[in-house]
């Protein structure tokens, strides 16, 4: 963070010490005497000491300023923390095209990123049937100020803004009048069944993973959404949850209050212990779905929501966030033109988790039929945590049948199993061969 040139400009003592060091070095090169060498060593030590002291003072001043302005300078504080934590970032000035040609101009680079994410976020061969139910135009209860205030209260500070550049700190600082205007805006969207285009637009920021920085596939994109739009989505999420939560199977622990991975690990361990005690085998298949969130067909999703009781103005409000859904790419300070996103759930949207587990619950129900593993008075055929699925059976042929049914249900819903990332496992006191087709 601190550099020698900066210290020379800001601190006269540092500037003089560095100047003396350079003069001593030139004198040493000119005559090469022991006295000149000693003079250079002293000047070098003095310059290093002056720079170190200047750095220490600058850090102390910075710390005091951040401590005094913590509540009013949270943006500066967290921006600095993130910059220090990740270190120097590489600016992407060049990138390979789809044909392997190196692109160097800013416009070509931005257009290439747009092309890459447009293809990535719009997979083909997904069901697209959409049916509008007769109840979609009915009116429902208006959004209250308390609902909006509760969602705003839970917004996290220090988050990057969406396309409208509105930061969470701005919303959290709203007074009663400001919240009433935000509530009014949400009710306009609720009653009209339409939302501002900014609420439907995501800003995709590529984050480097590993490999060649000039290859687009070595990045993953994160999507930044409008914060007022996320407040509206948060209100809808709470309403959807109240309807669908009692209908979701106990096997699903992802994105549900009071549940987590620990619950599934505990259940799986108890299944193992019981089977081992009674010398019963446990056949398992850990299933991985390809780009699960990005492949959800929206037409199928609307039908699933109606099956789970989400209808009328609520499903219309949810659909309004997707009607003109689009994204643009921001890279190296430049933005691409927007492009439509027709498939998948919106990354970063408060609604997406609950919509996804409803979708997965429907797939899980369609693949039932195999008895699974006996666990007390229950039989467990599968455990789910969002898109992470483990199928369970007492016999290999039952597990194979369960996998076939699950794969068929996924295919019918527009999802795809990653065979390279899915694994089978057997827990048995006897040595067995585990093969699944």
pLDDT digit string (tens) for 227-248? 999 999 999 999 999 999 999 9
Angle at 40 between CA 37 and CA 46, to 5 degrees: 145
Is residue 343 in a domain? yes
CA pair distance 303, 310, nearest whole angstrom? 9
In this structure, the answer to whether residues 271 and 395 fall within a common structural domain is yes
CA pair distance 244, 309, nearest whole angstrom? 7
pLDDT at position 435 is 53
pLDDT at position 24 is 87
Low-confidence ranges of the chain (pLDDT < 70): 1-10, 68-78, 80-92, 125-140, 431-437
In this structure, the answer to whether residues 12 and 121 fall within a common structural domain is no
pLDDT at position 83 is 64
pLDDT at position 257 is 86
How much is the CA Rg of the chain, to the nearest whole Å?
29
In this structure, the answer to whether residues 117 and 183 fall within a common structural domain is yes
Which structural domain range is residue 12 located in? 4-68
Is residue 194 in a domain? yes
Is residue 355 in a domain? yes
Please classify residue 179 by burial: count the beta carbons closer than 10 Å to its beta carbon, then call 0-12 exposed, 13-18 middle and 19+ buried: middle
The domain boundary residue, chosen from 51, 68, 85:
68
Tens-place pLDDT, residues 194-221:
999 999 999 999 998 888 889 999 999 9
pTM: 0.74
Q: Which residues contact 255 (CB under 8 A, 6 or more apart)?
A: 353, 354, 356, 357, 386
Is residue 200 in a domain? yes
pLDDT at position 72 is 63
pLDDT at position 75 is 67
Is residue 395 in a domain? yes
pLDDT at position 275 is 85
In this structure, the answer to whether residues 261 and 189 fall within a common structural domain is yes
Per the structure, the count of domains in the chain is: 2
In this structure, the answer to whether residues 302 and 199 fall within a common structural domain is yes
In this structure, the answer to whether residues 398 and 317 fall within a common structural domain is yes
The domain boundary residue, chosen from 40, 68, 96:
68
């Amino acid at each position: 963070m601190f550099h020698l040139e900066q210290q020379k400009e800001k601190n006269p003592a540092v500037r003089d010490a560095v100047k003396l060091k350079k003069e001593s070095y030139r004198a040493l090169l000119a005559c090469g005497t022991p006295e000149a060498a000693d003079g250079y060593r002293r000047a070098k030590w003095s310059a290093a000491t002056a720079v170190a002291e200047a750095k220490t003072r600058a850090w102390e001043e910075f710390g005091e300023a951040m401590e005094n302005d913590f509540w009013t300078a949270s943006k500066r504080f967290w921006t600095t923390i993130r910059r220090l934590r990740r270190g120097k970032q590489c600016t992407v000035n060049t990138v390979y095209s789809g044909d392997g040609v190196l692109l160097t101009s800013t416009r070509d680079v931005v257009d290439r990123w747009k092309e890459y994410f447009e293809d990535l976020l719009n997979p083909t061969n997904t069901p697209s049937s959409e049916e509008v139910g007769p109840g979609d135009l009915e009116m429902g209860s208006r959004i209250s100020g308390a609902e909006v205030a509760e969602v705003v209260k839970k917004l996290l500070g220090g988050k990057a803004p969406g396309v409208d550049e509105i930061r969470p700190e701005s919303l959290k600082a709203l007074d009663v009048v400001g919240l009433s205007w935000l509530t009014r805006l949400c009710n306009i969207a609720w009653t009209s069944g339409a939302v501002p285009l900014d609420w439907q637009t995501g800003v995709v920021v590529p984050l480097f993973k590993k490999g060649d920085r000039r290859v687009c596939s070595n990045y993953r994109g994160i999507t930044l959404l409008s914060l007022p739009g996320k407040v509206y989505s948060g209100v809808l999420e709470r309403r959807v949850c109240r309807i669908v939560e009692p209908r979701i199977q106990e096997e699903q622990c992802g994105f549900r209050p009071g549940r987590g991975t620990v619950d599934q690990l505990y259940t799986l361990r108890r299944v193992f212990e019981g089977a081992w005690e009674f010398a019963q085998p446990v056949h398992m298949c850990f299933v991985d779905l390809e780009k699960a969130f990005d492949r959800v067909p929206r037409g199928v999703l609307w039908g699933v929501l109606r099956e789970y009781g989400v209808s009328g103005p609520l499903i219309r409000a949810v659909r309004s966030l997707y009607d003109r859904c689009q994204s643009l790419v921001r890279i190296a300070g430049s933005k691409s033109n927007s492009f439509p996103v027709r498939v998948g759930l919106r990354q970063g949207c408060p609604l997406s988790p609950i919509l996804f587990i409803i979708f997965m619950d429907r797939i899980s129900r369609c693949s039932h039929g195999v008895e699974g593993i006996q666990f007390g008075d229950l039989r467990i055929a599968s455990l789910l945590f969002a898109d992470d699925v483990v199928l369970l059976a007492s016999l290999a042929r039952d597990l194979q049948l369960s996998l076939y049914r699950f794969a068929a249900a996924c295919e019918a819903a527009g999802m795809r199993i990653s065979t390279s990332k899915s694994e089978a496992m057997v827990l048995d006191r006897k040595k067995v061969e585990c093969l699944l087709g």
